[in-house]
Amino acid sequence: MTATYRGTPIAGTTVFTGARSRQGYRINKFAMSLTDPSKRDAFRADERGYMTSCGLTEAEMDLVAKRDWKGLVAAGGNIYVLIKVGGSVGQNLLQMGAQMRGQSFEEFMQSRPARQGAAIERKN
């Protein structure tokens, strides 16, 4: 996934521009609503029903149902609100990231410096 920012691409990156924010407004508004505990409960009790009440399209609801974080970012979702959806359905950011990279959680974790015994600490 490559998006351009002022005409210049940064590989693997989707810059959260105004166009993205417009595109993902419904998804992001639904996700932000999950900062309210009663709405988290309502979402967990009936995901489809709650998302319908938030006005999400069928395609957007399918992305959430599939926990397709990569697809949700492509649809305009912002990661800082998508992690609220992740939190509600029991996925942390590392798990979400592995999915976005098309890796298993374990594969992704193996790529982390701490797991490789190579975490970089510098004091100066």
Partner 1 sequence: MARIVGGVGCSHAPSIAHSFDRGLQNDPVWAPLYKGYEPAKAWLDKLKPDLIVAVYNDHMNRFFFDAYPTFALGVSDKHPQADEGWGKRDLPDLPGDAEFSWHLAQSLVEDEFDPTICQEMTVDHGILSILPLLTDTRWPAALVPFAANVIQHPLPTPKRFFHLGQAIRRAVESYPKDLRVLVVATGGMSHQLHGDRFGFMNPDWDNEFLDLLEHDPQKLVNLRHHDYMERGGAESVEMIMWLAMRAALGEKVRRIHRHYYAPMLTGYGLIVFEGADA
| Residues contributing to the site for partner 1 (CB under 8 A) | 1, 5-6, 8, 10-18, 21, 25, 28-29, 31-32, 34-37, 40, 69-70, 73, 78-81, 83-84, 87-88, 93-94, 97, 100-102, 108, 111-114, 119-124
Taking the C-alpha atoms of residue 62 and residue 46, their distance in angstroms, rounded to an integer, is 14
Query: Considering the complex, what minimum distance in angstroms separates the CB of residue 18 from partner 1?
Result: 7
Q: Output 48 or 74, the one with its CB closest to partner 1.
A: 74
Q: Is 5 helix (H, G, I), strand (E, B) or coil?
A: strand
Residue 77: alpha-carbon gap to chain centroid: 7
Taking the C-alpha atoms of residue 65 and residue 61, their distance in angstroms, rounded to an integer, is 6
Q: Residues 74-103, buried b or exposed e (16+ Cβ, 10 A)?
A: bbbbbbebbbbbbbbeebeeebbbbbbeee
Q: Output 59 or 119, the one with its CB closest to partner 1.
A: 119
Query: Considering the complex, what minimum distance in angstroms separates the CB of residue 99 from partner 1?
Result: 9
Query: Considering the complex, what minimum distance in angstroms separates the CB of residue 16 from partner 1?
Result: 6
Q: Is 6 helix (H, G, I), strand (E, B) or coil?
A: coil
Query: Considering the complex, what minimum distance in angstroms separates the CB of residue 64 from partner 1?
Result: 14
